Structure 1
Amino acid sequence: MSEFFYIHPDNPQARLLDQVIEILKDGGVIAYPTDSGYSLGCLLDNKGAMERICQIRQLDKNHNFTLMCRDLSELSLYAYVDNTTFRLIKNNTPGCYVFILEATKEVPRRLMNEKRKTIGLRIPDNKIDLALLERLGEPLMSTTLILPGDDFAQSDPEEIEDRIGHQLDAIIHGGYIGQQPTTIIDLTSGYPVVLRQGSGDTKPFE
Structure 2
Amino acid sequence: MAAEILKIYEQDPDPKKIDQIVRCLKDGGIIIYPTDTVYAMGCDIYQNRAIEKLSALKGLKVKKNNFSIVCSDLSNIADYARVSNKAFKVMKKAFPGPFTFILPATGKLPKLFQSNRKNIGIRVPDHAVPKAIVEALGNPIITTSVKDDVDNLLEYPNEIDIIIAQNENDADLIIDGGWSGIVPSTVIDASDDDFEIIRQGLGIFEDL
Residues of 1 paired with 2:35 and 2:106: CA distance? Answer: 25
Deviation at 1:8, TM superposition (A): 0.7
After TM superposition, the structure 1 stretch with the greater mean CA deviation from structure 2, 87-96 or 138-147, is 138-147
Equivalent AA in structure 2 for residue 139 of structure 1: P
Q: Deviations over 1:144-193 (max 9, x none)?
A: 11254656223222222212212211000001112121100001122211
Deviation at 1:112, TM superposition (A): 4.4
What corresponds to 1:184 in structure 2? 187
Correspondence 1:154 to 2:157: yes
Deviation at 1:30, TM superposition (A): 0.3
On the 8 A contact 1:69/1:140 being kept in 2, the answer is yes
Equivalent AA in structure 2 for residue 127 of structure 1: A
On the 8 A contact 1:65/1:112 being kept in 2, the answer is no
Higher strand residue share:
1
Residues of 2 paired with 1:156 and 1:112: CA distance? Answer: 33
Residues of 2 paired with 1:175 and 1:90: CA distance? Answer: 28
- 1:77-96 to 2 correspondences below 5 Å: 77-96=79-98
What corresponds to 1:19 in structure 2? 20
Measured on the aligned residues, the alpha-carbon RMSD in Å equals 1.8
Residues of 1 paired with 2:147 and 2:49: CA distance? Answer: 20
On the 8 A contact 2:103/2:122 being kept in 1, the answer is yes
Correspondence 1:74 to 2:76: yes
Residues of 1 paired with 2:114 and 2:90: CA distance? Answer: 22
Q: Deviations over 1:74-123 (max 9, x none)?
A: 11100011222111111111000000000000113543473x51100000
On the 8 A contact 2:86/2:193 being kept in 1, the answer is no
**Structure 1 unaligned regions, length at least 5:** none
After TM superposition, the structure 1 stretch with the greater mean CA deviation from structure 2, 72-81 or 47-56, is 47-56
Deviation at 1:38, TM superposition (A): 0.7
| C-alpha spacing 1:173/1:148, structure 2 compared with 1 (3 Å) | same
Correspondence 1:169 to 2:172: yes
Residues of 1 paired with 2:58 and 2:177: CA distance? Answer: 21
On the 8 A contact 2:157/2:163 being kept in 1, the answer is yes
On the 8 A contact 1:43/1:140 being kept in 2, the answer is yes
What corresponds to 2:39 in structure 1? 38
Deviation at 1:9, TM superposition (A): 1.6
Equivalent AA in structure 2 for residue 161 of structure 1: I
What corresponds to 2:135 in structure 1? 134
Correspondence 1:200 to 2:203: yes
What TM-score, normalized to structure 2? 0.91
After TM superposition, the structure 1 stretch with the greater mean CA deviation from structure 2, 51-60 or 121-130, is 51-60
On the 8 A contact 1:70/1:134 being kept in 2, the answer is yes
Number of aligned residues: 204
Within the candidate set 104, 115, 123, 1:102 is matched to 104
**Structure 2 unaligned regions, length at least 5:** none
What corresponds to 1:2 in structure 2? 3
After TM superposition, the structure 1 stretch with the greater mean CA deviation from structure 2, 95-104 or 62-71, is 62-71
